[in-house]
């Protein structure tokens, strides 16, 4: 529910735009999961940066049971989603942060809360005068009062319930709320369990966008199982890679530096779904640690099929820096490991003494008959998605992408220039025209752009080799002015979206309808392209409100890596 002043092209008219971080379907694109290399150094196509070889100590931390973000027991410092390079921020003004989120409390509790702090810079003398507020998923304007460096404050949907849940809060803990009502329901707004983006705004340039979600690779323990999401202290708050489940049941509000449950060195690396008459499917497990791990007794779970299997059989050891492949035909799976090609959420849980320890690895299967897996990006971060090729028992291929790509992102316009507006540009790298409405079982369904709440309609086509430019729908009556402002040819279609691009960074994805369930209540999608852009990407600070755009230079795989982009002057439709 973000609001923003739009300066229409050639005018000084202010209008309001609604922000939606996620599309309304349940097939969100994959954000980077827990870092861990594949079996050999992998270079993302078009990049000169290689992931450290799995044998290197820098790439393979040895976890302890619980670690704090700054603890030496955690191994290497957490890697930021900006590609492993932390970009220095302006410390002359307060830089806001979100350190903990309770979006789905245990035992059916309605409690939700967000913990806010100053990540860098000076104290805030008066939050009201400084314009400190929550925006995005929920809205709240902080009252007058100070916020000091090292102080953690909470905004809750129900202050009384919060204090009842946490009767032993630290002395001086400031609890604000409730946040604003949802204009659609008239009741206090709710954090959507499927995921959203929480913005902390402040006058100046110290705001932050923090994402949360309940699908892989986000930790399942924060989804109604008694844990909160805790920021690890490094990396973009828009990335799942930067968050972990709280080590303390119910979280630890008003206290900074909270510990998170450590992950195992085991990861679900690639999964092939069942394909009738071709394959019974398989699950590939990778161990990026320095010692072999026996996964006998661990539990594999399919969320969408609501089935569980216990890993067993003659071979259950995953060698150090090596792979273990579980075939669907293995006896452990009984009638077979039938994972739908409509996509799935698959989890592997560590089990000790018959009980889950809290360590997990997860993988979101993309819709389609191809395998899905994890790829390593420059700097040690990772991304998930459909694979360009199956690589059972070996290092993964790049992510499958295309034919429609995101070719330009102008996410933070120059706010001092009334003629500068945000936009997205798409390009068709294929050899055929792409009609952006599919007919599946005689039912039309449009492609979607996740991140800006857009679904294409009948007649929307991107010609082979052609482009399409997308602007915010507050400018829908200004198409002629937009074409004149940016010299966009009449042959380039212009369309309009309802959401807004985050000024800090978020996932944006192009999604093609693949199938729907039997009763037609749910659609499943394939990703054509996706990125998790960031204002912290190195050498691209001029795209953060200084007049330049992110322009794509590598179309060989999805656009998750900063190495696929460069900062240039905006060129929509060219």
Place of tokens 């360590």: 359
380 or 365, which is more confident: 365
80, 86 in Cβ contact below 8 A?
A: yes
Looking at the predicted structure, is the pLDDT value of residue 201 above 50? yes
Residue range 365-371: mean pLDDT, rounded: 91
521 or 291, which is more confident: 291
At 17, list the tokens.
């735009």
Highest mean predicted confidence (pLDDT) among 58-62, 208-212, 236-240, 302-306: 208-212
| Confidence category of residue 335, pLDDT binned at 50, 70, 90 | low
What is the C-alpha to C-alpha distance for residues 422 and 410, in angstroms, rounded to an integer?
Answer: 5
Residue range 273-302: mean pLDDT, rounded: 88
Highest mean predicted confidence (pLDDT) among 261-265, 500-504, 569-573: 569-573
6: nearest Cα among 455, 506, 477: 477
Place of tokens 């694109």: 29
Looking at the predicted structure, is the pLDDT value of residue 74 above 60? no
54, 39 in Cβ contact below 8 A?
A: yes
- Please give the span between the terminal C-alpha atoms of the chain, in angstroms, as a whole number: 32
User: Which DSSP letter does residue 86 get?
Assistant: P
Mean pLDDT of the chain: 83
Looking at the predicted structure, is the pLDDT value of residue 347 above 60? yes
271 or 376, which is more confident: 271
Residue range 69-88: mean pLDDT, rounded: 33
Residue range 442-454: mean pLDDT, rounded: 94
CATH 2.60.40 location in the chain: 266-386
Q: Could you give the 3-state DSSP secondary structure of residue 26?
A: coil
Give the pLDDT of residue 538. Answer: 86
Looking at the predicted structure, is the pLDDT value of residue 61 above 50? no
Residue range 68-91: mean pLDDT, rounded: 36
Who's near 115: CB < 8 A, 6+ residues apart? Answer: 98, 99, 100, 101, 152, 153, 154, 253, 254
Looking at the predicted structure, is the pLDDT value of residue 73 above 90? no
What is the C-alpha to C-alpha distance for residues 271 and 353, in angstroms, rounded to an integer?
Answer: 27
Give the pLDDT of residue 519. Answer: 81
What is the C-alpha to C-alpha distance for residues 259 and 233, in angstroms, rounded to an integer?
Answer: 10
What is the C-alpha to C-alpha distance for residues 518 and 228, in angstroms, rounded to an integer?
Answer: 35
| Confidence category of residue 14, pLDDT binned at 50, 70, 90 | very low
471 or 13, which is more confident: 471
Looking at the predicted structure, is the pLDDT value of residue 23 above 60? no
Looking at the predicted structure, is the pLDDT value of residue 29 above 50? no
Give bridge partners of residue 327 from the DSSP assignment.
Answer: 282
Q: Which long-range contacts (CB under 8 A, 24 or more apart) does 276-282 make?
A: 278/369, 279/328, 280/327, 280/328, 280/329, 280/336, 280/337, 280/338, 281/328, 281/336, 281/337, 281/338, 281/339, 282/325, 282/326, 282/327, 282/328, 282/337, 282/392
Q: What is the pLDDT of residues 143-180, one digit of tens each?
A: 999 999 999 999 999 999 999 999 999 999 999 999 99
Give the pLDDT of residue 379. Answer: 62
Looking at the predicted structure, is the pLDDT value of residue 549 above 60? yes
Least confident piece of the model among 317-321, 348-352, 399-403, 415-419: 415-419
280, 268 in Cβ contact below 8 A?
A: no
Q: 266-386 adopts what CATH topology?
A: Immunoglobulin-like (2.60.40)
What is the C-alpha to C-alpha distance for residues 258 and 262, in angstroms, rounded to an integer?
Answer: 12
Looking at the predicted structure, is the pLDDT value of residue 60 above 60? no
- What percentage of the chain has pLDDT greater than the value 70? 82
Give the pLDDT of residue 86. Answer: 44
What is the C-alpha to C-alpha distance for residues 546 and 555, in angstroms, rounded to an integer?
Answer: 25
- What percentage of the chain has pLDDT greater than the value 90? 66
What is the C-alpha to C-alpha distance for residues 282 and 272, in angstroms, rounded to an integer?
Answer: 5
Give the pLDDT of residue 88. Answer: 47
What is the C-alpha to C-alpha distance for residues 106 and 110, in angstroms, rounded to an integer?
Answer: 9
- CA distances, 124 to each of 93, 119, 128, 171 (Å): 9, 12, 10, 20
Based on its alpha-carbon atoms, the radius of gyration of the chain, rounded to whole angstroms, reads 23
Looking at the predicted structure, is the pLDDT value of residue 304 above 90? no
| Confidence category of residue 334, pLDDT binned at 50, 70, 90 | low
At 283, list the tokens.
């699950």
At 141, list the tokens.
């304007």
User: Which backbone phi and psi does 481 adopt, to 5 degrees?
Assistant: -70, -35
Looking at the predicted structure, is the pLDDT value of residue 59 above 90? no
Q: What is the pLDDT of residues 501-520, one digit of tens each?
A: 999 888 999 999 999 988 87
Looking at the predicted structure, is the pLDDT value of residue 49 above 70? no
Q: What is the pLDDT of residues 124-133, one digit of tens each?
A: 999 999 999 9
Q: What is the pTM of this model?
A: 0.79
Residue range 266-285: mean pLDDT, rounded: 84
Give the pLDDT of residue 8. Answer: 34
User: Which backbone phi and psi does 294 adopt, to 5 degrees?
Assistant: -90, 115
Q: Strands 95-102, 229-231: parallel, antiparallel or unpaired by DSSP?
A: antiparallel
Looking at the predicted structure, is the pLDDT value of residue 421 above 90? yes
Least confident piece of the model among 51-60, 347-356, 506-515: 51-60
- H-helix segments, 153-215: 159-165
């Amino acid at each position: 529910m973000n609001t923003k002043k739009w300066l229409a092209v050639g005018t000084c008219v202010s209008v309001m735009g609604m922000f939606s971080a996620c599309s309304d379907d349940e097939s969100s694109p994959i954000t980077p999961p827990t870092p861990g290399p594949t079996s050999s150094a992998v270079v993302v196509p078009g990049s000169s940066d290689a992931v450290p070889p799995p044998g290197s100590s820098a790439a393979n931390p040895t976890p302890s049971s619980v670690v704090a973000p700054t603890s030496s027991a955690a191994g290497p410092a957490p890697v930021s989603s900006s590609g492993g390079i932390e970009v220095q921020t302006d410390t002359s003004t307060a830089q806001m942060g979100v350190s903990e989120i309770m979006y789905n409390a245990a035992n059916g509790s309605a409690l939700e809360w967000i913990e806010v702090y100053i990540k860098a810079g000076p104290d805030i003398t008066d939050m009201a005068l400084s314009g400190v507020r929550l925006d995005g998923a929920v809205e709240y304007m902080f009252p007058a009062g100070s916020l000091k460096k090292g102080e953690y404050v909470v905004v809750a949907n129900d202050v009384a319930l919060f204090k009842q849940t946490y009767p032993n809060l630290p002395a001086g803990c400031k609890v604000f709320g409730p946040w604003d009502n949802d204009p659609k329901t008239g009741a206090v707004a709710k954090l959507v369990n499927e995921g959203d983006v929480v913005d902390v705004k402040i006058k100046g340039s110290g705001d932050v966008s923090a994402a949360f979600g309940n699908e892989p690779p986000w930790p399942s323990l924060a989804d109604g199982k008694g844990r909160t999401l805790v920021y690890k202290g490094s990396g973009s708050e828009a990335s799942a890679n930067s968050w972990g489940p709280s080590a303390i049941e119910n979280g630890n509000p008003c206290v900074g530096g909270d510990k998170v449950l450590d992950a195992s060195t085991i990861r679900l690396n690639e999964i092939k779904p069942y394909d009738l008459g071709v394959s019974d499917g398989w699950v590939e497990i990778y161990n990026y640690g320095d010692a072999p791990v026996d996964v006998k007794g661990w539990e594999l779970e399919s969320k969408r099929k609501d089935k569980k299997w216990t890993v067993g059989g003659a071979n259950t050891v995953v060698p150090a820096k090596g792979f273990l492949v579980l075939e669907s035909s293995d006896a452990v799976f009984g009638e077979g490991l039938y994972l739908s090609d409509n996509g799935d959420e698959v989890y592997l849980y560590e089990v000790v003494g018959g009980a889950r320890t809290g360590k997990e690895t997860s993988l979101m299967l993309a819709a389609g008959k191809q395998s899905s897996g994890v790829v390593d990006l420059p700097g040690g971060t990772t991304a998930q998605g459909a694979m360009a090729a199956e690589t059972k028992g070996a290092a993964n291929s790049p992510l499958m992408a295309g034919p429609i790509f995101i070719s330009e992102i102008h996410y933070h316009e120059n706010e001092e220039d009334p003629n500068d507006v945000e936009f997205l540009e798409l390009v068709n790298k294929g050899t055929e025209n792409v009609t952006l409405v599919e007919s599946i079982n005689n039912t039309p369904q449009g492609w979607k752009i996740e991140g800006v709440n857009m679904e294409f309609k009948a007649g929307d086509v991107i010609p082979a080799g052609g482009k399409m430019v997308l602007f915010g729908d507050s400018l829908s009556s200004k198409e002629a002015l937009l074409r004149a402002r940016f010299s966009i040819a009449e042959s380039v279609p212009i369309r309009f979206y309802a959401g807004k691009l985050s000024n800090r960074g978020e996932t944006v994805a192009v999604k093609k309808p693949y199938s729907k369930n039997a009763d037609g209540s749910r659609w499943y999608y394939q990703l054509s392209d996706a990125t998790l852009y960031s204002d912290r990407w190195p050498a691209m600070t001029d795209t953060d409100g200084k007049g330049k755009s992110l322009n794509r230079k590598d179309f060989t795989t999805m656009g998750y890596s900063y190495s696929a982009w460069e900062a240039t002057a905006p060129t929509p439709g060219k």
